[in-house]
Chains A and B, each alone.
Chain A
């Protein structure tokens, strides 16, 4: 996030009626020179020159946030151009470096979207920290009177608490015009605690224009639910329950479109295309597929971590599931030049579990094995029975996993080598959680350089009575 340093000195310049830069302080002069201009010549930074020209013609001071090229980098400027004595006086501040590209949605729009997905309710203030927007419904839900708080100082609604350093994060954020989070406060009159976060709004001259903020209730006891209101579920990772549903809708459909279109560009279905572009499109499609996989994982993660998560109890043939999983991965394996040695068609190991979930686990295990196998290698899938458990062993010839890493790979986001491409770091975590929810487990057996053997076990069909009607 780009933080404007208000301490950065204002740089002054002057342009005459013909758009020539007649004087400029050092920083502006240097920028102009790097753009190929000089004092006495036309102002060579096009965005600033245009602003000066507009101000002159409109006859009023105008301010705008401008991105200008500075050598190989982009620099973000706050420019104020004011007509003066037949020319234009320029005041330029900001001067922060910024990445050459970012999405076109403004920061505050994006932050608002982000807040909305995680917060309990939203608020906004003006530059004097008086409330300009407050969710009326939140007031009713959490026991404060929103309507009486509008137009009032934020501190009328929130009793702000100091952090461990004795500071108020919100005040630091006002001074630095920066985003803050973790400002704890008590909702006055309710005794309830909230965590506030907000992002500053900045006007065209780079001045602070207020906060767009969110509040998250951090004390658990809620007002007694209304008679027919659904009882709120324990939220996952601070996200409301509807998060995964929205994630699904908001991302899966557009990503699906991105992938489908990128695929058809890459396949050149609409006509021939320069090879580079076709390749870019295929990169876009593959990045899209990666993101889609991540979304699937997150949606699964939320489902699994809910207290009421349950798996169906069915009789599943582990051999059949393994063959299907191997079949699903055969294209990827062929591309990677890896051979999958799958169980024979007449093999069968009946266990208890949920077919869909068992398939998901095996696709994950075999997919990993394929991903970490060198070209020309083989992945073996073997079936065994042991102590009331039916086991599928997925073995690869990859680089193996050091003993100290063998637990870490099952942790949430626990990746051994964070620089490796692909994967969300959730796959094995989810796989083990699923295996355990079905009464089984996943273990690993490996040494560096020796490949890895993952063992996925589920209780044998006959090991106990099952409730399923099958």
Chain B
């Protein structure tokens, strides 16, 4: 083995040796960081951790969302740069490495609203996959959503069709792993778009003509923002359908049972949200929550009777192993005994402005009177 000596210029190391020494010096920091992560990881409550299905689906979704936006910005940005005589920059923008690792590492993606939306979206998909299917009693009777598509009321028919289209589109992943669109609420779409644009900018910071790059990226981003319509999201389409159907209290139980039996969680959530006059995301959170108590209160607020609650509760507990079916059965009489007025009063805080509620929650969690 040859002996390695540290090359020096005037006593100072250079080149590879310097990098090595710098890395060695930084080892302490990395060791400390690794220890912190390991410690945090160990003390995470096991039952609060993401399960593997959720974790991998979340990873796929984040990857697809970033890749979709990134591809759009790179393509259009590069075209703008090329027409403005920045051929080298255009090529660099068109071909760079994915910015996802940088975004992950920067902490930008640790945005609670973004994560709530993504987890909700995935949770909804996974719930649909685990729900027991419900076949038709008659082979000629189409499923609920398809009966809406055939509905004589054109508003109902058109809204049902747009739900089917939006849901089909969400599942379309191109060969390159890109989505048709992000399907995020507009403010989150904006946020993610600017994060990606900024990360792209940073990745090319070694080039000259950064002004031109900034301009091209911003124009590409603004073009993408202008073309984005959050009304195309399946969630928005489902809300429009629920509004068009405008289920009356006597129709609602059967519709909810059938929507769940057809694994149309979007429609199930929207029907409830419309009936209670609440937002889609708030109801989705309740439907997906590990602790189902609020869900039972919601069903009572909708004046559902014991048997309907038993059917929905059985399906929801059956589909999510974290929920205790036995506990639900034990509670069933108590749930049925809640009056609709009591239930509605219990849900009243959900009607308060979201930002106000979020602030209240933070104060509660950090409160001095614990």
Instruction: Render A37-78 as a binary contact track against B, CB cut-off 8 A, 1 for contact.
Output: 000000000000000001001111011100000000000000
Question: Are B149 and A150 touching (Cβ within 8 A)?
Answer: yes
Which of B139, B168, B175, B311 lies in contact with A150, CB distance below 8 A? B168
Q: A128-B140, A207-B135, A208-B135 are in contact. Are A151 and B149 (CB under 8 A)?
A: yes
Contacts of B332 in A (CB 8 A): 57-58
Would you call A204 an interface residue if the criterion is a C-beta within 8 Å of the partner chain's C-beta atoms? yes
CA distance A135 to B136 in the complex (A): 24
Q: Which of B120-178 contact A (CB under 8 A)?
A: 129, 132-136, 139-143, 145-146, 149-150, 160-161, 164-165, 167-169, 171-172, 174-175
Question: Are A127 and B135 touching (Cβ within 8 A)?
Answer: yes
Question: Are A209 and B136 touching (Cβ within 8 A)?
Answer: yes
CA distance A54 to B332 in the complex (A): 12
CA distance A146 to B171 in the complex (A): 13
Would you call B325 an interface residue if the criterion is a C-beta within 8 Å of the partner chain's C-beta atoms? yes
CA distance A146 to B180 in the complex (A): 14
CA distance A53 to B262 in the complex (A): 26
CA distance A63 to B172 in the complex (A): 33
Contacts of B228 in A (CB 8 A): none
Would you call B306 an interface residue if the criterion is a C-beta within 8 Å of the partner chain's C-beta atoms? yes
CA distance A134 to B168 in the complex (A): 6
Contacts of A261 in B (CB 8 A): none
Contacts of B140 in A (CB 8 A): 128
Would you call B324 an interface residue if the criterion is a C-beta within 8 Å of the partner chain's C-beta atoms? no
B129, B136, B140, B307 interface centre (most CB from chain A within 10 Å): B136
Question: Are B307 and A60 touching (Cβ within 8 A)?
Answer: yes
Question: Are A59 and B307 touching (Cβ within 8 A)?
Answer: yes
Contacts of A209 in B (CB 8 A): 133-136
Contacts of A109 in B (CB 8 A): 129
Question: Are B143 and A210 touching (Cβ within 8 A)?
Answer: yes
CA distance A63 to B318 in the complex (A): 11
B168 CB to closest chain A CB (Å) equals 5
Question: Are B132 and A126 touching (Cβ within 8 A)?
Answer: no
Q: Which residue of B lies closest to A146 (CB)?
A: B168
Contacts of A96 in B (CB 8 A): none
Contacts of B314 in A (CB 8 A): 54, 58, 60, 62
Question: Are A147 and B161 touching (Cβ within 8 A)?
Answer: yes
A237 CB to closest chain B CB (Å) equals 18
Contacts of B180 in A (CB 8 A): 136-137
Which of A54, A128, A202, A242 lies in contact with B136, CB distance below 8 A? A128
Would you call A133 an interface residue if the criterion is a C-beta within 8 Å of the partner chain's C-beta atoms? yes
B328 CB to closest chain A CB (Å) equals 9
Question: Are B329 and A54 touching (Cβ within 8 A)?
Answer: yes
Instruction: Render A127-164 as a binary contact track against B, CB cut-off 8 A, 1 for contact.
Output: 11010111111000000001100111000000000000
Would you call B212 an interface residue if the criterion is a C-beta within 8 Å of the partner chain's C-beta atoms? no
Contacts of A132 in B (CB 8 A): 143, 145-146, 164
Question: Are A133 and B168 touching (Cβ within 8 A)?
Answer: yes
Q: Which of A228-267 contact B (CB under 8 A)?
A: 240, 242
With A60-B311, A136-B172 already in contact, 17 other A-B pairs whose C-beta atoms are closer than 8 Å: A60-B307, A109-B129, A128-B136, A132-B145, A132-B164, A136-B168, A150-B168, A151-B149, A151-B161, A203-B134, A204-B133, A204-B134, A205-B135, A208-B136, A209-B135, A210-B143, A242-B175
Interface residues of B (CB under 8 A from A): 129, 132-136, 139-143, 145-146, 149-150, 160-161, 164-165, 167-169, 171-172, 174-175, 180, 261-262, 306-307, 310-311, 313-314, 318, 325, 329, 332
Interface residues of A (CB under 8 A from B): 54, 57-60, 62-64, 109, 126-128, 130, 132-137, 146-147, 150-152, 174, 201-205, 207-210, 240, 242
Sample (6) of A-B pairs whose CB atoms are under 8 Å apart = A128-B136, A150-B164, A201-B133, A207-B136, A208-B136, A240-B175
